[in-house]
Amino acid sequence: MLERIQKMLGNKAEQTDKTHVFDENGAIPKHIAVIMDGNGRWAKSRSLPRIAGHRQGMKTVKEIVKAADDIGVEALTMYAFSTENWKRPRDEVDFLMKLPQEFLTTELDELIERNIRIRMLGIQQGLPDFTLKALLAGEERTKNNTGLILNFALNYGGRTEITNAVTEIAQLVADGKLRPDEINDALVNDHLYTRDLPDPDLLIRTSGEIRLSNFMLWQLAYTELWFTDVLWPDFNKEHFYQAIAEYQGRARRYGAV
Ligand code: IPE
Ligand code: IPE
Ligand code: MG
Protein backbone atom coordinates (compact mmCIF):
# COMPACT_ATOMS: atom_id res chain seq x y z
CA MET A 1 0.00 0.00 0.00
CA LEU A 2 2.64 2.47 1.12
CA GLU A 3 4.68 1.45 -1.84
CA ARG A 4 1.75 2.15 -4.14
CA ILE A 5 1.16 5.58 -2.60
CA GLN A 6 4.83 6.42 -2.88
CA LYS A 7 4.80 5.31 -6.45
CA MET A 8 1.77 7.48 -7.16
CA LEU A 9 3.35 10.48 -5.48
CA GLY A 10 6.57 9.79 -7.32
CA ASN A 11 4.79 9.73 -10.64
CA LYS A 12 2.97 12.90 -9.76
CA ALA A 13 6.19 14.67 -8.86
CA GLU A 14 7.63 13.52 -12.14
CA GLN A 15 4.66 14.93 -13.99
CA THR A 16 4.76 18.30 -12.32
CA ASP A 17 8.52 18.56 -12.82
CA LYS A 18 8.00 18.15 -16.51
CA THR A 19 7.94 21.57 -18.13
CA HIS A 20 6.32 20.43 -21.33
CA VAL A 21 3.53 18.28 -22.68
CA PHE A 22 4.87 17.47 -26.12
CA ASP A 23 6.74 14.34 -27.09
CA GLU A 24 10.48 14.96 -26.91
CA ASN A 25 11.06 12.18 -29.39
CA GLY A 26 8.35 13.46 -31.73
CA ALA A 27 8.84 16.06 -34.43
CA ILE A 28 9.82 19.48 -33.15
CA PRO A 29 8.81 22.14 -35.69
CA LYS A 30 11.95 23.46 -37.35
CA HIS A 31 10.45 26.88 -38.02
CA ILE A 32 7.70 28.45 -35.92
CA ALA A 33 6.00 31.71 -36.93
CA VAL A 34 4.08 33.74 -34.36
CA ILE A 35 1.47 36.47 -34.76
CA MET A 36 1.72 38.13 -31.38
CA ASP A 37 -1.73 39.67 -30.97
CA GLY A 38 -3.87 41.03 -28.16
CA ASN A 39 -1.59 43.47 -26.36
CA GLY A 40 -4.11 46.29 -26.68
CA ARG A 41 -7.00 44.22 -25.32
CA TRP A 42 -4.86 42.96 -22.46
CA ALA A 43 -4.17 46.56 -21.45
CA LYS A 44 -7.77 47.67 -21.96
CA SER A 45 -9.07 44.92 -19.69
CA ARG A 46 -6.89 46.39 -16.95
CA SER A 47 -7.82 50.01 -17.75
CA LEU A 48 -4.23 50.62 -18.82
CA PRO A 49 -3.00 52.46 -21.92
CA ARG A 50 -2.34 50.21 -24.94
CA ILE A 51 1.40 50.70 -24.61
CA ALA A 52 1.32 48.92 -21.25
CA GLY A 53 0.17 45.87 -23.19
CA HIS A 54 3.11 46.18 -25.56
CA ARG A 55 5.54 46.44 -22.66
CA GLN A 56 4.08 43.31 -21.07
CA GLY A 57 4.10 41.61 -24.48
CA MET A 58 7.84 42.12 -24.66
CA LYS A 59 8.23 39.95 -21.57
CA THR A 60 6.35 37.20 -23.39
CA VAL A 61 8.75 37.56 -26.33
CA LYS A 62 11.68 36.92 -24.00
CA GLU A 63 10.03 33.85 -22.49
CA ILE A 64 9.04 32.34 -25.84
CA VAL A 65 12.45 32.89 -27.45
CA LYS A 66 14.05 30.96 -24.59
CA ALA A 67 11.37 28.26 -24.68
CA ALA A 68 11.98 27.76 -28.41
CA ASP A 69 15.74 27.74 -28.03
CA ASP A 70 15.58 25.27 -25.13
CA ILE A 71 13.94 22.60 -27.28
CA GLY A 72 16.03 23.08 -30.41
CA VAL A 73 13.68 25.00 -32.71
CA GLU A 74 15.81 26.17 -35.66
CA ALA A 75 13.95 29.36 -36.59
CA LEU A 76 11.41 31.53 -34.80
CA THR A 77 9.73 34.36 -36.68
CA MET A 78 7.87 36.93 -34.62
CA TYR A 79 5.42 39.37 -36.24
CA ALA A 80 6.19 42.59 -34.41
CA PHE A 81 4.88 45.34 -36.69
CA SER A 82 2.99 45.12 -39.96
CA THR A 83 3.06 47.48 -42.93
CA GLU A 84 -0.54 48.30 -41.89
CA ASN A 85 0.31 49.11 -38.26
CA TRP A 86 1.43 52.62 -39.29
CA LYS A 87 -2.30 53.44 -39.24
CA ARG A 88 -2.22 53.39 -35.44
CA PRO A 89 -2.04 56.50 -33.24
CA ARG A 90 1.31 58.25 -33.44
CA ASP A 91 2.21 57.72 -29.77
CA GLU A 92 1.56 53.98 -30.02
CA VAL A 93 3.69 53.67 -33.16
CA ASP A 94 6.46 55.70 -31.48
CA PHE A 95 6.39 53.36 -28.51
CA LEU A 96 6.49 50.21 -30.65
CA MET A 97 9.47 51.58 -32.58
CA LYS A 98 11.40 51.96 -29.33
CA LEU A 99 10.91 48.34 -28.32
CA PRO A 100 13.56 46.66 -30.51
CA GLN A 101 16.26 48.85 -28.99
CA GLU A 102 14.97 48.20 -25.49
CA PHE A 103 14.70 44.48 -26.11
CA LEU A 104 18.21 44.22 -27.50
CA THR A 105 19.75 46.40 -24.80
CA THR A 106 18.52 44.07 -22.11
CA GLU A 107 18.65 40.76 -23.99
CA LEU A 108 21.51 40.80 -26.48
CA ASP A 109 24.11 39.36 -24.12
CA GLU A 110 21.92 36.41 -23.25
CA LEU A 111 20.99 35.88 -26.90
CA ILE A 112 24.69 35.79 -27.75
CA GLU A 113 25.36 33.38 -24.89
CA ARG A 114 22.68 31.14 -26.34
CA ASN A 115 24.29 31.32 -29.82
CA ILE A 116 21.09 32.91 -31.21
CA ARG A 117 21.21 34.79 -34.49
CA ILE A 118 18.94 37.81 -34.93
CA ARG A 119 17.55 38.99 -38.21
CA MET A 120 15.01 41.49 -39.41
CA LEU A 121 12.39 40.69 -42.04
CA GLY A 122 10.65 43.66 -43.62
CA ILE A 123 11.22 47.03 -45.22
CA GLN A 124 14.01 49.02 -43.65
CA GLN A 125 12.88 52.21 -45.33
CA GLY A 126 10.50 54.20 -43.15
CA LEU A 127 11.77 52.88 -39.83
CA PRO A 128 13.20 55.47 -37.43
CA ASP A 129 17.01 55.56 -37.41
CA PHE A 130 17.34 54.31 -33.82
CA THR A 131 15.09 51.33 -34.52
CA LEU A 132 16.98 50.30 -37.62
CA LYS A 133 20.35 50.91 -36.00
CA ALA A 134 19.49 48.68 -33.03
CA LEU A 135 18.30 45.88 -35.32
CA LEU A 136 21.26 46.10 -37.67
CA ALA A 137 23.68 46.15 -34.73
CA GLY A 138 21.93 43.07 -33.32
CA GLU A 139 22.21 41.34 -36.71
CA GLU A 140 25.86 42.26 -37.00
CA ARG A 141 26.78 41.11 -33.50
CA THR A 142 25.04 37.77 -33.91
CA LYS A 143 25.75 37.07 -37.58
CA ASN A 144 28.22 34.25 -36.92
CA ASN A 145 26.01 32.50 -34.38
CA THR A 146 24.83 29.07 -35.42
CA GLY A 147 21.92 28.41 -33.05
CA LEU A 148 18.29 29.53 -33.21
CA ILE A 149 17.53 32.05 -35.96
CA LEU A 150 15.32 34.71 -34.41
CA ASN A 151 13.53 36.76 -37.05
CA PHE A 152 11.69 39.95 -36.20
CA ALA A 153 9.12 40.79 -38.85
CA LEU A 154 9.06 44.55 -38.52
CA ASN A 155 7.45 46.85 -41.07
CA TYR A 156 6.61 43.53 -42.69
CA GLY A 157 3.81 42.82 -45.15
CA GLY A 158 3.37 39.56 -47.02
CA ARG A 159 1.98 41.22 -50.14
CA THR A 160 4.78 43.78 -50.23
CA GLU A 161 7.31 40.97 -49.88
CA ILE A 162 5.82 39.11 -52.85
CA THR A 163 5.49 42.32 -54.88
CA ASN A 164 9.17 43.10 -54.26
CA ALA A 165 10.08 39.61 -55.44
CA VAL A 166 8.01 40.09 -58.61
CA THR A 167 9.72 43.43 -59.29
CA GLU A 168 13.19 41.94 -58.89
CA ILE A 169 12.35 39.02 -61.15
CA ALA A 170 10.77 41.29 -63.77
CA GLN A 171 13.98 43.35 -63.76
CA LEU A 172 16.07 40.24 -64.40
CA VAL A 173 13.84 39.39 -67.36
CA ALA A 174 13.96 42.96 -68.67
CA ASP A 175 17.77 42.88 -68.46
CA GLY A 176 17.86 39.65 -70.45
CA LYS A 177 19.34 37.70 -67.49
CA LEU A 178 16.34 35.42 -67.10
CA ARG A 179 13.73 33.89 -69.41
CA PRO A 180 10.06 33.87 -68.29
CA ASP A 181 9.98 30.07 -68.60
CA GLU A 182 12.77 29.85 -66.00
CA ILE A 183 10.52 31.36 -63.32
CA ASN A 184 9.33 28.73 -60.85
CA ASP A 185 8.42 28.41 -57.15
CA ALA A 186 12.04 28.03 -56.09
CA LEU A 187 13.07 31.16 -57.96
CA VAL A 188 10.26 33.22 -56.39
CA ASN A 189 11.29 31.85 -53.00
CA ASP A 190 14.85 33.03 -53.65
CA HIS A 191 13.57 36.61 -53.86
CA LEU A 192 11.70 36.60 -50.54
CA TYR A 193 13.13 37.87 -47.23
CA THR A 194 13.06 34.25 -46.03
CA ARG A 195 15.06 32.88 -48.98
CA ASP A 196 17.41 30.80 -46.83
CA LEU A 197 14.83 29.55 -44.32
CA PRO A 198 12.53 26.56 -44.46
CA ASP A 199 8.81 27.45 -44.58
CA PRO A 200 7.20 27.59 -41.13
CA ASP A 201 5.94 24.22 -39.90
CA LEU A 202 3.71 25.82 -37.31
CA LEU A 203 1.98 29.19 -37.09
CA ILE A 204 0.70 30.40 -33.73
CA ARG A 205 -1.70 33.32 -33.40
CA THR A 206 -2.90 34.58 -30.04
CA SER A 207 -5.92 36.66 -29.02
CA GLY A 208 -8.70 34.76 -30.76
CA GLU A 209 -8.40 36.35 -34.21
CA ILE A 210 -8.54 33.70 -36.93
CA ARG A 211 -6.75 35.43 -39.79
CA LEU A 212 -3.28 35.95 -41.21
CA SER A 213 -3.24 39.76 -41.35
CA ASN A 214 -0.80 39.82 -44.26
CA PHE A 215 1.78 37.56 -42.60
CA MET A 216 4.03 35.24 -44.66
CA LEU A 217 1.40 34.65 -47.34
CA TRP A 218 3.72 32.66 -49.58
CA GLN A 219 5.53 30.73 -46.86
CA LEU A 220 2.43 29.55 -44.96
CA ALA A 221 1.09 27.51 -47.90
CA TYR A 222 1.38 24.19 -46.02
CA THR A 223 1.95 25.39 -42.47
CA GLU A 224 -0.07 23.93 -39.59
CA LEU A 225 -2.14 26.74 -38.06
CA TRP A 226 -2.80 26.98 -34.32
CA PHE A 227 -4.99 29.63 -32.75
CA THR A 228 -5.61 30.44 -29.12
CA ASP A 229 -7.85 32.94 -27.32
CA VAL A 230 -5.02 33.73 -24.88
CA LEU A 231 -3.82 37.32 -25.29
CA TRP A 232 -0.13 37.70 -26.10
CA PRO A 233 0.88 39.23 -22.73
CA ASP A 234 -0.73 36.21 -20.99
CA PHE A 235 0.83 33.68 -23.34
CA ASN A 236 3.58 31.59 -21.80
CA LYS A 237 5.92 28.66 -22.26
CA GLU A 238 3.23 26.12 -21.34
CA HIS A 239 0.89 27.46 -24.04
CA PHE A 240 3.76 27.36 -26.50
CA TYR A 241 4.56 23.75 -25.70
CA GLN A 242 0.85 22.91 -25.88
CA ALA A 243 0.84 24.23 -29.45
CA ILE A 244 3.79 21.98 -30.24
CA ALA A 245 2.04 19.00 -28.66
CA GLU A 246 -1.00 19.60 -30.90
CA TYR A 247 1.27 20.06 -33.90
CA GLN A 248 2.72 16.64 -33.19
CA GLY A 249 -0.75 15.15 -33.42
CA ARG A 250 -1.41 16.58 -36.89
CA ALA A 251 -1.05 14.56 -40.08
CA ARG A 252 0.75 16.65 -42.70
CA ARG A 253 -0.19 15.47 -46.16
CA TYR A 254 0.95 18.20 -48.58
CA GLY A 255 -1.79 17.19 -50.97
CA ALA A 256 -0.92 13.49 -50.95
CA VAL A 257 -2.95 10.72 -49.31
C1 IPE B 1 -0.28 43.01 -31.13
O2 IPE B 1 -1.24 43.48 -30.25
C3 IPE B 1 0.92 43.91 -31.24
C4 IPE B 1 1.03 44.60 -32.51
C5 IPE B 1 0.22 44.51 -33.53
C6 IPE B 1 2.17 45.49 -32.63
P7 IPE B 1 -2.31 44.56 -30.68
O8 IPE B 1 -1.75 45.91 -30.41
O9 IPE B 1 -2.77 44.34 -32.07
O10 IPE B 1 -3.46 44.24 -29.66
P11 IPE B 1 -5.02 44.25 -29.94
O12 IPE B 1 -5.26 43.36 -31.11
O13 IPE B 1 -5.41 45.67 -30.23
O14 IPE B 1 -5.61 43.74 -28.68
C1 IPE C 1 -1.10 41.63 -36.83
O2 IPE C 1 -1.90 42.08 -35.81
C3 IPE C 1 0.22 42.35 -36.79
C4 IPE C 1 1.10 42.00 -35.69
C5 IPE C 1 0.87 41.11 -34.77
C6 IPE C 1 2.34 42.71 -35.68
P7 IPE C 1 -2.96 43.23 -36.00
O8 IPE C 1 -3.60 43.45 -34.68
O9 IPE C 1 -2.34 44.41 -36.64
O10 IPE C 1 -3.98 42.59 -37.05
P11 IPE C 1 -5.49 42.91 -37.36
O12 IPE C 1 -5.59 44.38 -37.64
O13 IPE C 1 -6.29 42.54 -36.16
O14 IPE C 1 -5.82 42.06 -38.53
MG1 MG D 1 -4.27 43.23 -32.87
Residue 50, CA distances (Å) to 59, 62, 64, 130, 176 in order:
15, 19, 21, 22, 51
Cα of 158 vs its chain's centroid, Å = 14
**Architecture of 28-158+197-219+231-248 per CATH?**
3-Layer(aba) Sandwich (3.40)
- Which ligand has its closest atom nearest to the C-alpha of 40? 1
Residue among 23, 25, 37, 184 flagged as catalytic: 37
pLDDT surpassing 50 at residue 155? yes
pLDDT in tens, 161-196: 999 999 999 999 999 999 999 999 999 999 999 999
pLDDT surpassing 60 at residue 9? no
Q: Mean pLDDT in the chain?
A: 94
- Active-site residue, 85 included: yes
pLDDT surpassing 70 at residue 6? no
Predicted confidence band at 29 (pLDDT cuts at 50, 70, 90)? very high
3-state SS class at 4: helix
pTM of this prediction exceeds 0.75: yes
Predicted confidence band at 2 (pLDDT cuts at 50, 70, 90)? low
- Residues contacting residue 209 through CB under 8 Å, at least 6 positions apart: 35, 37, 227
pLDDT surpassing 80 at residue 18? no
- Which ligand has its closest atom nearest to the C-alpha of 89? 1
Q: What's residue 20's pLDDT? A: 85
Q: Is 240 in the pocket of ligand 2 (CB under 6 A)?
A: no
pLDDT in tens, 124-144: 999 999 999 999 999 999 999
- Active-site residue, 115 included: no
* CA-based nearest residue to 80, from 36, 121, 125: 36
Instruction: State which H helix or E strand residue 118 sits in.
Output: strand 117-121
Predicted confidence band at 199 (pLDDT cuts at 50, 70, 90)? very high
Task: Provide the residue type at 35 as one letter.
Answer: I
Q: What's residue 14's pLDDT? A: 45
In this prediction, residues 250-257 reach a mean pLDDT of 95
Counting Cα atoms < 13 Å in the Cβ hemisphere of 197 gives: 28
3-state SS class at 11: helix
pLDDT surpassing 90 at residue 86? yes
Residue 38 Cα: closest atom of ligand 1: 14
* CA-based nearest residue to 39, from 105, 118, 95: 95
Domain boundaries, the chain: 28-158+197-219+231-248
